[in-house]
Amino acid sequence: MTPSELQSLRELIGRHKRYDILFGLIGVLATLVGVITLLALFIDLVLDGYGRLTPEFFTNFPSRRASEAGILSAWVGTALVMLVTLVAAVPLGVAAAIYLEEYAPRNWITELIEINVTNLAGVPSIVYGLLALGLFVYMLDFGQSILSAGLTLALLILPVLIVATREALRAIPTAIREAAYALGATRWQMVSQHLIPYSMGGILTAVIIGMARAIGETAPVITIGALTFIAFLPPAPFSLDPVTGQPAGPFDWLFSPFTVLPIQMFNWVSRPQPAFLENAAATGIVIIVATLVMNALAIWLRYRIRKNLKW
Amino acid sequence: MDNFPTVTAGTVMTTQAHRLSEKKLRKLKEKAIEVVLFLAALSAVATTTAIVVILLYEAAGFFEHVSLVEFFTNTQWTPMFVNPQYGILPLLAGTLVTTGVALMVAVPVGTIVAIYLSEFAPHVVRETVKPFLELLEGVPTVVYGYFALLFVTPILQIFIPDLPGFNMLGPGIVIGIMIIPYIASVSEDAMRAVPMSIREGSYAMGATRFQTAINVVLPASISGVLAAFILGISRAVGETMVVAIAAGQQPNFTWDPTEPAATITAYIVQVAMGDLPHGSIAYQSIFAAGLVLVVMTFVFNVLGHLLRKKFREKY
């Protein structure tokens, strides 16, 4: 090899090494796009809305005057809708996951269910709103109520819940199942006394992720017709109606009109007055803190479970 | 099981019979539980069926008044006007433009992030970055809408002075950023599934990490990466709140991203915000629009999952 050939070879190697380092840098930058956006988003919201985060903001109803408007009806609505979603989605999702992971025979019905779960995870959320508008609001006549919204969001997070619960169940070694069977346990005894307790952490993570998704969902709840201006709270069980003096039934609140935090934010962001934009930003802070705390909790829980695995 | 000689029934026999009936009961209980669990799993099929039935049922009412030809060729969408026009093209164009802008952001950035995380990043970096990306995915879309309208668009207006306050560019970019984590994580999964021996072969020939990533890992995982893009398209098409807030809600048949326009999803939101009488054509029109949306995302989802599966079978 002549010195000049050697020289050009060295240059080639040097050039490729430089490309390598350069791409490493580009990779870091590209990854930072996400982190920077998250920071910019948060700082932007805090700068715009921090001034409105007073205690009154949480205890006032929405109002025509921006400075007096608050999110009382919105956060109460969100809490109640989440309660319905939780009660409806968790048993259904966990039961479906247990069936698919522990019971399902390998046949076309199982295959069909699996395809449906995968496909439902990809259906745009607004389509769930259309489903609920036709099915819950008009066909089943639940009206534009907390019940309709809770059930809609339950259907929406069902695939998330099923997939994550199955993963938690799959992480339990077969030896545990065999040990239970060897002691004469039936399948349900094995599932209820071993698998469910052992996968509790994973199931909890799945539930938190699902609820974090549901709390920020706007489009499906708008589609079923949640109102944007609500200046009253759903009737508490057995409270007296101020007009008729009749006590409310224990479940009357399920059928009450309502609004939720993201819709309140959407309503305020659609108004031209800058004062309402501040309210929107403040509501945004409340929503984002709620979802980020839930997501962070889920990530931390998953990390802990991975670390403390007994097997 | 019931033909035990009861004549000679001693204590032994009765306990045995007792045990047997207990066993029978237990089997019955087991079966009942299995049926309940099966029904829960079947709810997924029921949901899909309900979506299809409701959309088809309400859209059928719509298509009694509007012909398919008009629906797909008319370039005006004005259901609220006195003389209503029902052409889906303007909404479709709005959806495609915002999706296109989103992809121009998400495809390059998402792929680079995936390559970086899978081939370059040290273990510690990967483990810290991934939760951050997950958090980015967890931000509610209504907040992204606020961000697009009041942060991204004003910044864009510095570079494009006559950009209107409502436009498709800002929300498109924001949707792109939103789906970066998704594209990155699906592509990274695909890249990490490429066997180490293939990489080592490349390194043994003197290739750098970058050369290995571009010439070996990327081609080997290409169907998984394409699947990530296609699943990303499906998400961008179905995105609602960002465009409803920041793109304006006027149907506008244009391919220019600097103009305001409504997407299919934004139209559904806009109609749902108003108080529409149940059963009117305008009410049915959101189901027709929803049907178009479902068909589009379904095609992309199936394509994406097929590609992903094909890739998984290879190694």
Residue B278's pLDDT band, with cuts at 50, 70 and 90, is confident
Could you give the CA distance from residue B72 to residue A97 in angstroms, rounded to a whole number?
41
**Cα separation, A23 vs B227, whole angstroms:** 24
Q: Is B113 on the interface with A (CB under 8 A)?
A: yes
Does position B41 have pLDDT exceeding 80, yes or no? Answer: yes
Helix, strand, coil fractions of chain B, as percent rounded to 5: 75, 0, 25
**Phi and psi (nearest 5°) for B72?**
-95, -5
Instruction: Output the CA angle B75-B81-B85, nearest 5 degrees.
Output: 30
ipTM of the complex: 0.84
- Continuous H helices in chain A: 3-49, 55-59, 72-98, 108-121, 125-132, 146-170, 174-182, 187-190, 196-198, 200-216, 219-223, 261-269, 274-307
Give A124-158 pLDDT, tens digit per residue: 989 998 888 888 888 787 877 888 889 999 999 99
* Best mutation target, B151, B183, B240, B271, to test chain A (most A CBs within 10 A): B240
pLDDT band with cut points at 50, 70 and 90 for residue B231: confident
H/E segment holding residue B95:
helix B89-115
Chain B positions in Cβ-Cβ contact with residue A135 (cut-off 8 Å): 50, 54
Q: Which residues on neighbouring strands pair with residue B86, listed in sequence order?
A: B77
Q: Kindly identify which residue of chain B lies nearest to residue A19, measuring between CA atoms.
A: B210
Q: Which residues of B161-186 are buried (b: 16+ CB within 10 A; e: fewer)?
A: eebeebbbbbbbbbbbbbbbbbbbbb
Q: Is the pLDDT of residue B26 over 80?
A: yes
Give ∠ CA A257-A261-A262 in degrees, rounded to 5: 105
Q: What residues of chain B lie within 8 A of the CB of A228, using their CB?
A: 273
Of B38, B40, B294, the CB nearest to A127: B294
Would you tell me which residues 1-20 of chain B have a C-beta closer than 8 angstroms to some C-beta of chain A? none
Give Cα separations from A146 to A135, A139, A227, A230, B49 (angstroms): 15, 16, 11, 13, 24
The reply to whether A270 touches chain B by the CB within 8 Å rule is yes
**Adjacent-strand bridge partners of B77:** B86
Q: Kindly list the residues from chain B whose CB atom is less than 8 angstroms away from the CB atom of residue A138.
A: 278
**Rounded Cα distance, A110 and A27, in Å:** 42
Count of C-beta atoms within a 10 Å radius of residue B67: 12
CB atoms closer than 10 angstroms to residue A277: 20
Above 70 in pLDDT, residue B13? no
d(CA B237, CA B96): 7
Q: Is A148 on the interface with B (CB under 8 A)?
A: no
Q: Do A216 and B147 touch (CB under 8 A)?
A: no
Give residue-wise pLDDT tens across range B195-220. Answer: 888 889 998 988 888 888 888 888 88
Which of A48, A112, A126 has its CB closest to that of B45? A112
Query: Inter-chain contact A158–B44, Cβ cutoff 8 Å?
Result: yes
Return the half-sphere exposure (C-beta side, CA atoms, 13 A cut-off) of residue B142. Answer: 33
Cα distance between residue A298 and residue A288, in whole Å: 15
B77 in reach of chain A (CB within 8 A)? no
DSSP per-residue string spanning B242-301 = HHHHHS-S-------TTS----HHHHHHHHHHS-PPTTSHHHHHHHHHHHHHHHHHHHHH
Q: Is A96 on the interface with B (CB under 8 A)?
A: yes
What is the predicted pLDDT for the residue at B270? 84
Average pLDDT of span A51-80 = 79
- pLDDT band at residue B9 using 50, 70 and 90 as cut-offs: very low
Quote the distance between the C-alpha of residue B105 and its chain's center: 17
Cβ–Cβ gap A116/B45 under 8 Å: yes
Question: Under CATH, which number does the domain B89-314 receive?
Answer: 1.10.3720.10
pLDDT band at residue A309 under the 50/70/90 scheme: low
Q: For residues B142 and B171, what is the distance between their CA atoms, to the nearest angstrom? A: 11
Instruction: Tell me, yes or no, if the pTM score tops 0.95.
Output: no
Q: Is A215 on the interface with B (CB under 8 A)?
A: yes
A181 shares contact with chain B (CB less than 8 Å): no
How far is A203 from chain B, CA to nearest CA, in Å?
A: 16
**pLDDT (tens digit, 9 = 90+) per residue, B108-133?**
999 999 999 888 888 888 888 887 78
B26/A contact by beta carbon, under 8 A: yes
Q: Is the dihedral of CA A201, A204, A209, A212 positive or negative?
A: negative
Domain spans in chain B, listed from the N-terminal domain onward: 11-65, 89-314
Determine contact, residues A144/A221, Cβ cutoff 8 Å: no
Interchain CB contact of B51 with A (< 8 Å): yes
Give the C-alpha separation, A296 to B47, whole Å.
30
Q: How many Cβ contacts (< 8 angstroms) between chains A and B? A: 263
Q: Is B150 on the interface with A (CB under 8 A)?
A: yes
The alpha carbon of A118 is separated from its chain's Cα centroid by a whole number of angstroms, namely 17
Tell whether A127 is within 8 A of chain B (Cβ). Answer: yes
Structure confidence at residue A96 (pLDDT): 92
pLDDT band at B173 (very low <50, low <70, confident <90, very high): very high
Asked if A133 and A224 count as a contact pair (C-beta separation under 8 A), the reply is yes
Kindly report each contact of residues A268-272 with a partner whose C-beta sits within 8 Å and lies 24 or more positions away, as own/partner. A268/A69, A269/B142, A269/B145, A269/B146, A269/B149, A269/B150, A269/B245, A270/B245
pLDDT at A310: 63
Q: Which of B47, B55, B57, B275 to mutate to test the interface with A (most CBs of A within 10 A)?
A: B47
Roughly what angle, to the nearest 10 degrees, separates helices B281-314 and B89-115? Answer: 30
Which of A137, A160, A163, A269 is most worth mutating to test chain B (most B CB atoms within 10 A of its CB)? A269
Tokens of A133: 């508008």
- Cβ distance B131 to A218 less than 8 Å, yes or no, reads no
Which of A13, A15, A19, A23 would best serve as a mutation to test chain B binding (most B beta carbons within 10 A)? A23
Q: How far apart are CA A15 and CA B203, in angstroms?
A: 16
Gap from B249 CA to chain A (nearest CA, Å): 11
Q: Is A270 exposed, middle or buried (0-12, 13-18, 19+ CB in 10 A)?
A: middle
Helix (H, G, I), strand (E, B) or coil at A310: coil
Q: What is the pLDDT of residues A214-265, one digit of tens each?
A: 888 888 888 887 776 776 777 766 666 666 667 666 667 777 777 888 888 8
Best of B142, B264, B287 to substitute, by most chain A Cβ atoms within 10 angstroms, is B142
Measured between CB atoms, does A150 come within 8 Å of chain B?
no
Question: Which chain A residues in 51-70 lie under 8 Å from chain B, judged by CB atoms?
Answer: none
Mean pLDDT over each residue of chain A, to the nearest integer: 84
